[in-house]
Amino acid sequence: MKDFLFVFRNDFENIPKGSPEELQALTKKWMDWVGGIAAQNKLSDRGSSLASGGKVVRPNNVVTDGPYTEIKELIGGYTIVKADSIDEAVELASGCPVFNYGGNVEVREINVM
């Protein structure tokens, strides 16, 4: 088994900003999806979601705000799964709630140091 990183990218404009009920329904989708991976014993690290906004640090102490939420493919969070192959990891990414609002999952194998 190898570890694979799931990077969730999405368009913040598309994320439902609806009622508490709608938000709760969305949370449930994520919980069920992660629970489904854990039930297959394929979850390595649940990971986290990331707060919007931040800072970008460049050489020579150049610090800028951002990335801004206007960006279409903003990283919203990450999870690490266990799989035998990249194909199996891709299979695990199916049904990810991020697709519901136009996002995507980048699947990357993690190199062992």
Partner 1 sequence: MEQQELIPHLFRTEYRKITAVLCKLFGISHIEIAEDIASDTFLLASETWGHKGLPENPVAWLYKVASNKAKDYFKRDALFHQKIVAQISNSFATSTGEIEIDLSEKNIVDSQLQMMFAICHPAIPVNAQIGLSLRILCGFGIEEIADAFLTNKETINKRLFRAKETLRTEKVKIEFPNKQEINKRLEIVLITLYLLFNEGYYSSSQNITLRQDLCLEAMRLTHLLIENPSTDEPSVNALMSLMCFHASRFEARTDKNGDTVLYQDQNTDLWNKELINKGMDYLSQASRGDEISKYHLEANIAYWHTIKEDTGQKWESILQLYNQLLQIEYSPMAALNRTYALSKANGKPEAIIAAEKLKLVDNHLFHSLLGELYTNIDNVKALMHFKDALKLAKSAADKTIISNKIGELSVQSN
Residues within the interface to partner 1 (CB under 8 A): 28, 31-32, 34-36, 38-41, 43, 46
Q: How far is the CB of 111 from partner 1 (least distance, A)?
A: 24
Sequence-distant (6+) residues with CB within 8 A of 7 are 75, 78, 105, 106, 108
Q: Are 107 and 5 in contact (CB under 8 A)?
A: yes
Decide whether 11 or 34 has the Cβ nearer to partner 1. 34
Q: Are 110 and 7 in contact (CB under 8 A)?
A: no
Q: How far is the CB of 7 from partner 1 (least distance, A)?
A: 19
Decide whether 39 or 112 has the Cβ nearer to partner 1. 39
Q: How far is the CB of 112 from partner 1 (least distance, A)?
A: 21
Decide whether 74 or 82 has the Cβ nearer to partner 1. 82
Q: Are 66 and 55 in contact (CB under 8 A)?
A: yes
